[in-house]
Chain A
Amino acid sequence: MKQALVVARKDLLVEFRARLLLVRVIPFALLVLVLFAVALDSEPLILRAASGLVWLTMLFSTLLLVQRTYDVETQDAALEVLLTSAVEPVNVFFGKLFAAFVQLLVLSVLLVFGAIVLYGATVSGSNVVLLVTIVVSAAWGLASVGTLYGAVVANMNGRDSLLALLALPVLAPLLIGASRATEAAFGSQTIDTASGWAWVALLAVFAVVFSAAGAAAFGALMEPEA
């Protein structure tokens, strides 16, 4: 646990010094939000699609973020050094997961605000709790899948396109769940708050399943070759 926090702190420190989230991922995500609006070119349509667009943007941004954290790790074999210095692989996994989670949380809060400002989505006071739960559980799910599949493709040729091909189908349930639940939180007429909470349950299951799978698989993925 302590080791995991040290790894998370290291990842966040690297991130803070490089400011990649600030200068590249956040502008990219906001740009995508704007481009969706331009492409759809109809205000009622954008408002109807707002929640889906937010989470689709989150999916793409997760890919960017994960690529970046593993690029840092594979340069100069930093990850191998970390693992040989008696840090348990499970702790490395949860440390990286937590660092990614913090960044994705910041990003998703910004994107929800983006949807409110740019798309005209509204959140009533009673739905704030639902929205916060969605954002937290979806960000955790994204971080766990991202950290796990980032480890699968680390050190591989053409890993950027591979990561997208592998991780996006896996993230489909998260995209469906988070989009529908956020639609409920935005006060859509087609989906009520109760079903919004049902979707949050799915998001939570998703996050737990892939955290556990990642914890189990990370050690094997990082094991040095015999």
Chain B
Amino acid sequence: MVSRSTGTTTTRVIGIAAIAVLAWVVVSAFFITPADFQQGESVRIMYAHVPAAWIAYLAFITTGITSGISLARRHRTLGFDRVAGASAEVGVLFMGLALITGSLWGRLTWGTFWQWDPRLTTTLFLFVTYVGYLAVRNIDGDPHRRAKRSAILALLAVLEIPLVHFSVVLWRSLHQEASVLNPDGDVRLDDMMLFTLFSGVVGFTLVFVWMVIHRQRLATLRDLQQGVGLDAAIAARRNEGAAIAGGGQ
């Protein structure tokens, strides 16, 4: 009998820890840490933005590694494939958050929502690439076939991103345009700010682990349900056949 819930003691512990850490981050980010001497209150966006970006990259690295393992093991079990998919889903979510919080911060600090800075541009292409990866995963069909295709796609993405990054860096360096403000630096972190940022990273990582475990289990159930659905349909046709045969007597 398969459990109806995707929660276990482990996920509950992780979930409660995540809530506790994030509650502390919210309190500290809004009330304890000081405003930046240059950026003022907008610096508080950083406590959500930096951890979100960190999780996004962690998620895509996880997807790359698990896809590689899944492909190397020739998808004998689908566990690694499901982790890859779950991790990419969560990664797209956090990268979306990072892009939104980043552009809000950019509007306040640089005076513009978007800068064609190499890092931002690469991140945007990474985001679109993984949206495409998820689109491929969401097409119904044989789970093994899906596993192989998406693993190949994930590894191609690993190949693509350095090329995108390199070309964008070259592109920006050849176009000597004045940048509004240096995208790095300008933030002086005191100990409390650093600790809050660090807590944010820890909290978001816990959320990431919690979400990936649940999504991974949900994917397992969905694959099972597809199989069960097919069996049930076959049994129903058999019963119909039996009923017709029975009615004919």
Q: Which residues of A pack against B, CB within 8 Å? A: 148, 152-153, 156-158, 162, 165-166, 168-170, 172-173, 176-177, 180, 190-191, 195, 198-199, 202, 205-206, 209-210, 213, 217, 220-221, 223, 225-226
Contacts and interface: CB of A to CB of B under 8 A. Distances in A.
A217 B170 CA distance: 29
Contacts of B131: 165
A199 B168 CA distance: 11
A152 B149 CA distance: 7
A171 to B, nearest CB: 9
A209 B152 contact: no
Contact of B171 (A170, A176, A209): A176
A169 B144 contact: no
Contacts of B141: 156
B152 A221 contact: yes
Contacts of A166: 129, 132-133, 135-136, 153
A198 B144 CA distance: 42
A162 B136 contact: yes
A126 B155 CA distance: 41
Nearest to A195: B174
B244 interface: no
Nearest to A158: B139
Contacts of A172: 125, 164, 167
Contacts of B167: 172-173, 176-177, 202
Contact of A217 (B133, B156, B164): B156
B132 A165 contact: yes
Interface of B: 71, 125, 128-129, 131-133, 135-136, 139, 141-142, 144-145, 148-149, 152-153, 155-156, 159-160, 163-164, 166-168, 170-171, 174-175
A225 B139 contact: no
B136 A180 contact: no
B132 A169 contact: yes
A182 B201 CA distance: 44
A55 to B, nearest CB: 13
A141 to B, nearest CB: 10
A169 B160 contact: yes
Nearest to A198: B170
B159 A157 contact: no
A220 B163 contact: no
A180 to B, nearest CB: 7
A190 B132 CA distance: 35
A209 B159 contact: yes
Nearest to B127: A169
A220 B149 CA distance: 9
B125 A165 contact: no
A213 B175 contact: no
